[in-house]
Each structure stands twice: as C-alpha cells, then as structure tokens.
Amino acid sequence: MKAPGIIQQLQSIDMQHRQTEQTHWVDSSLARTVLMIIIVILLNGCADTVSNMHRPTLAFTSYATGNGDIYTVRLDGTGLHRLTSSDAEDMLPSWSPDNKRLVFRSFRDGNPEIYTMDSDGNNARRLTFHETDDCNPKWSPTGDRIAFESLRDGNVAIFLMDTLGNELRKLTQEATSLNPTWSPDGRQIAFSSTMDGNYEIYTMYIDDAIPKRITFSNSWEKFPAWSPDGKKIAFVSERNDTTGVYVMNYDGTNQQLVIANANQPAWLPDSDGIVFVMESEYELNLYSVRLNGTGLKKISPGSMKPQFPAVHHP
C-alpha cells in the first residue's frame, strides 16, 4: 500500500494537470473565437473592397476651381476624388478597357495635347507632340488604339494612334469631324461631321474608313456615344430648337428623345440608361436617367460645374 502522503501528492498533481488542461482549453477556445471574429471582419472588408472595385465609376471634368481638372465619382454620387491639379486645363477623360488608366487632353505643357495617366492620377505620360490642337481622345475597347481629334492637317479630323502615341493614321479626310466614339467590338467608330454640310452622325469601319451617314436632320447632331451592348447610339440634337439627348439603333433607325435640355451623354453599364450634363438651379450638374425617361437622379455633389462624363464599365 502507498503511503497516505504519496497518495495526496499524486491527487494534487492530477488536479493541477486537469486545471492546466482546462486553462489550455479555455485559452484555445478564446483564441479560436477571436480568430473567427478577425476572419469575418477581414472578409467583410474584402467584400466591400471588391464591391467598390467593381462599382461603376464616372470620370468627368470639373470647372469648380475655375480651371479644368479631372475627378472621379461613383454613380451614386459618393467617393468624389480629384485626379489632376495642374495649373493648366485637364479635360475630356476616357477610360482604358481594363479601367486602370485614363486618356485625356491637357494644356500642361503649353499646348493642347493628349496624355494618359493611372486611374489614381499618377504617372501622366504625353502621347502627342504637335503645334496644333489635339483633342477629345477615346480609348478603344481592344485597348491598343486611341481615336482623337486633331487640327494638324488644316481641318478638324479624326485620327488613330497606338497607346504610346505612335502609328498615326488619319481616318476622316474632308470637312470637320468631331466626337469619335467606339463600337464595343472595336471595329467601328461613330462621329459627328459636316461632310454633307450639316453636323450629322456617321459610322465608319476602321479597316476601310468609308463613312456611312445615319442621321438626316435639319438641326445639328453631335456627341454620339455607342452603348456597351453595341445595339444603340446616344447623341445630342437641337431639333425643335431644344438641345436634347436622343437614342437610336446603331444603324440610325428608331430615333427617340430621352430627355430635353440635356447634353454630353455617356452610357450606364447595363445599356438601359445614360449619364448626361444638364443645367439645373443655374449651374451644370451630372444626372442619370433610364432610356424610358424615368429614374432621374443627380450624381455630381456640390457645385462641381461638371462636363464630359465618361463611365467605366466593369
């Protein structure tokens, strides 16, 4: 038989061992709980980040400071962010198809030229070097070309170049041609031109550069914008002595007024609505509306004096 003292010592050791195991279990359980809470918080944060990354963002030119600068904002009016702050005018932004960069026009080197920059405003790079006006750049959906306007040959014409400013090619040959916009497959552009005497909307395949007129109005037609699904083109017309945004099929048929007293349309990602500029409360603001004229919403916060909206399509 074991002595009573030894038995008591063994019992005490066993009790300490059990208490230690219970403490370790409690500590482990607490650690697992804390870890799960941290994981949930991180996942929620990641979900918010991913949601924000894929939330359509609008770039535009603002004259709120008296000098043109480029800003971005979400389509619900939140997340306003200033991208440029040079002493010169920066304007007319257009998104790259991966939404990582923007192409724009700037006077920052003393002459209106075409530049690109990252979507946060960094790493600006000059693409054109010509003494005349280069303007209104539009990044192709294929990502390898930029269409723009230039006065370099004596009349305002539409040119193509690659994303480094090389491989220059003139597309329109006569009259004044403005406001290029790409079809979503990158094979065509639509634009406004006076080649038949009045500003009308034309389309053109890039390969053959043969213009096709698709509007026939006694009023001017400008600012065409091709829908993301490729089925429609929005444009601005001064029919009936009122400037308004119209939508038509890509071949020019079924022209319909979407909203009057509006200008400079850009498409929402679902191709069932547009963003546009309209004067309200004695100043310009950005709005969105469905194609049937419903759901009018103001986007631009404060007195931004916005112009030239460009929506990126995730």
| Per-residue model confidence (pLDDT) at position 283 | 86
Question: Which amino acid, one-letter code, is at 62?
Answer: S
The whole-number average pLDDT for the span 95-116 is 96
Q: Using the predicted structure, report yes or no on whether residue 19 has a pLDDT greater than 80.
A: no
Main-chain phi, psi angles of 23, to 5 degrees: -65, -45
Q: Using the predicted structure, report yes or no on whether residue 199 has a pLDDT greater than 60.
A: yes
Q: Using the predicted structure, report yes or no on whether residue 5 has a pLDDT greater than 70.
A: no
Band (42; pLDDT cuts 50, 70, 90): very low
Q: Which two tokens stand for residue 250?
A: 């890509």
The Cα-based distances of 248 to 221, 242, 305 in angstroms read 12, 18, 28
The Cα-based distances of 271 to 101, 158, 209, 225, 234 in angstroms read 22, 26, 26, 11, 10
The counts of H helices and E strands in the chain are 1, 24
Q: Using the predicted structure, report yes or no on whether residue 1 has a pLDDT greater than 50.
A: no
Q: Using the predicted structure, report yes or no on whether residue 108 has a pLDDT greater than 90.
A: yes
Asked which of 107-111, 266-270, 301-305 is least confident by mean pLDDT, the reply is 301-305
End-to-end CA distance of the chain: 82
| Per-residue model confidence (pLDDT) at position 182 | 98
CA distance 145 to 186: 9
314 or 144: which leads in pLDDT: 144
Q: Which two tokens stand for residue 187?
A: 């094979």
Q: Using the predicted structure, report yes or no on whether residue 30 has a pLDDT greater than 90.
A: no
The whole-number average pLDDT for the span 111-130 is 97
CA distance 263 to 275: 9
The Cα-based distances of 281 to 73, 132, 138, 209, 241 in angstroms read 21, 37, 31, 43, 21
| pLDDT tens-digit readout, 139-169 | 999 999 999 999 999 999 999 999 999 999 9
| pLDDT tens-digit readout, 165-185 | 999 999 999 899 999 999 999
Band (240; pLDDT cuts 50, 70, 90): confident
Residue % of the chain over a pLDDT of 90: 74
Q: Using the predicted structure, report yes or no on whether residue 49 has a pLDDT greater than 50.
A: no
Asked which of 32-36, 55-59, 251-255 is least confident by mean pLDDT, the reply is 32-36
Q: Using the predicted structure, report yes or no on whether residue 54 has a pLDDT greater than 50.
A: no
| Per-residue model confidence (pLDDT) at position 6 | 52
Task: Name the one residue in this structure whose structure tokens are 């600012």.
Answer: 223
Q: Which two tokens stand for residue 290?
A: 């469905």
Which residues have C-beta within 8 Å of that of residue 211, sequence separation ≥ 6? Answer: 172, 193, 195, 202, 203, 204
Q: What is the DSSP letter of 134?
A: E
Which residues have C-beta within 8 Å of that of residue 43, sequence separation ≥ 6? Answer: none
Segment holding 14, helix H or strand E: helix 4-54
Q: Using the predicted structure, report yes or no on whether residue 2 has a pLDDT greater than 80.
A: no
Which of 277, 284, 281, 282 shows the shortest CA–CA distance to 309? 277
Band (18; pLDDT cuts 50, 70, 90): low
Q: Using the predicted structure, report yes or no on whether residue 280 has a pLDDT greater than 90.
A: no
Say whether 153 sits in a helix, a strand or coil: coil
pLDDT, the chain, mean: 87
Task: Name the one residue in this structure whose structure tokens are 């059990």.
Answer: 18
**CA triplet 295, 301, 303: central angle to 5 degrees?**
120
Task: Say if residues 191 and 162 touch (Cβ distance below 8 Å).
Answer: no
